[in-house]
Amino acid sequence: MPAILEVENLTKKYGDFEAVKGISFSVEEGEVFGLLGPNGAGKTQTISMLTGVIPPTSGSARIAGHDIKSDMNEVKKINGLVPQDLALYPTLSARANLNFFGRIYGLGGNELKERVEDVLRIVALTDRADQKIDEYSGGMKRRVNIAAGLVHQPQLLFLDEPTVGVDPQSRNHIFESVQRLNRERGMSVVYTSHYMEEVELLCNRVAIIDEGKIIAMDTVKNLIGILGGGMIYIGLEEVDDALLEQLTGLGGVKEAMLVPPPVAPPLAEGEDPEKETEPVTSNPIVKIVAENSQQAVVNVISFLNDQDRPLTSLEILEPNLESVFLHLTGKKLRE
Ligand SMILES: Nc1ncnc2c1ncn2[C@@H]1O[C@H](COP(=O)(O)OP(=O)(O)O)[C@@H](O)[C@H]1O
Ligand SMILES: [Mg+2]
């Protein structure tokens, strides 16, 4: 499959702050590609550069072969953008809003009429289309927003956190619309979220983004595969290399390792760099990558019991993208 989107070393700086730190990825035609990351990771900044909302500081991207720097007019015909923030006229009906957006794209007459009815069907709002946006629930407004991004029949749709603040029913409608647009119309989609379940459900490949960088990119299946059968975090009073080796040798365990301690604060001026710094955590934490988490938990706990080593904490992480993120960054996706 040829790539519909190719991103190379895309960077966005604000003064000394780098919101997007040279990211590269590509999306194949007909793919639903996920950008998964916590708030502030750089998802919206990335999408905004790819859709001409803001200029990149450096780097490049091509959409169906058109460069975003030199060919944004063509790019805008191919792209559809559903921004994170709603952009609708609250006193107009959904249908009137969609007519308005269609005209911006140069549509008119019967073609516009057909397109508006089509996108209303896609988001399942035909019955309510003449109601004012003001009277809609948050989820319905979001669906009109999606319809507005579809009215010019884009080949590549950017959806930026489309389910934030949305009721469960609209959420399911949104998932179904994305799946149908992809399967029935071959639309390529870039879907951003900080909800791993959504990305697992909808996306084939996913880039995990944190602090402006892609820290992992693969199919959902392969990313989750990094964890084997899940992860177990145990707090212990003392840990040495011999213990880690013994734990690694237990049935169901792939690897046992000490979790790196949190980064110590920078030294104050004039402080001796050789001075010993106090550890930030009280108890060491061992991370166990399991081949089979249930078997590993049973074996690890009975082994530690036999050795008279009390557990100070225990956390079991299922093999999913949330755990992959924690494994790679030491942070939770939602804090
Ligand atoms: N106009 C701006 N000026 C300075 N920093 C910005 C601006 N817009 C966004 N940022 C910063 O860029 C980073 C990435 O933001 P964003 O792409 O919105 O994250 P996400 O969409 O993943 O939650 C954040 O730290 C945010 O505060
Ligand atoms: Mg965002």
| Predicted confidence (pLDDT) per residue in 250-305, tens digit | 999 999 999 865 555 555 555 565 555 555 557 889 999 898 888 999 999 999 99
- Quick one: pLDDT at residue 226? 84
Q: Whose CA is nearest to atom 26 of ligand 1?
A: 40
Write down how long the chain is. 335
Task: Please state, in angstroms and rounded to a whole number, the distance separating the CA atoms of residues 255 and 231.
Answer: 10
Q: Which ligand is nearest to the CA of 164?
A: 2
Burial class (CB in 10 A: 0-12, 13-18, 19+), 270: exposed
Q: Say if ligand 1 is within 6 A of residue 44 CB.
A: yes
Q: The dihedral of CA 91, 97, 99, 102: what is its sign?
A: positive
Q: Whose CA is nearest to atom 20 of ligand 1?
A: 40
Domains of the chain: 3-223 (3.40.50.300), 231-264+277-318 (3.30.70)
Which atom of ligand 1 is nearest to 14's Cα?
Answer: 4
Average pLDDT score over residue span 128-156:
95
Q: Higher model confidence: residue 86 or residue 281?
A: 86
- Ligand 1 pocket, mutate which of 21, 44, 54 (most atoms under 8 A from CB): 44
Q: Whose CA is nearest to atom 16 of ligand 1?
A: 42
pLDDT digits (tens, 9 = 90+) for 16-30: 999 999 999 999 999
Task: Please state, in angstroms and rounded to a whole number, the distance separating the CA atoms of residues 137 and 142.
Answer: 9
Q: Which ligand is nearest to the CA of 23?
A: 1
Query: Residue 41: is its pLDDT beyond 80?
Result: yes
Q: Under 8 Å CB-to-CB from 15, ≥6 apart: which residues?
A: none
- Quick one: pLDDT at residue 45? 98
pLDDT digits (tens, 9 = 90+) for 115-137: 999 999 999 999 999 999 999 99
Q: Which ligand is nearest to the CA of 41?
A: 1
Sheet arrangement for strand 311-317? 253-258, 285-290, 231-236, 311-317
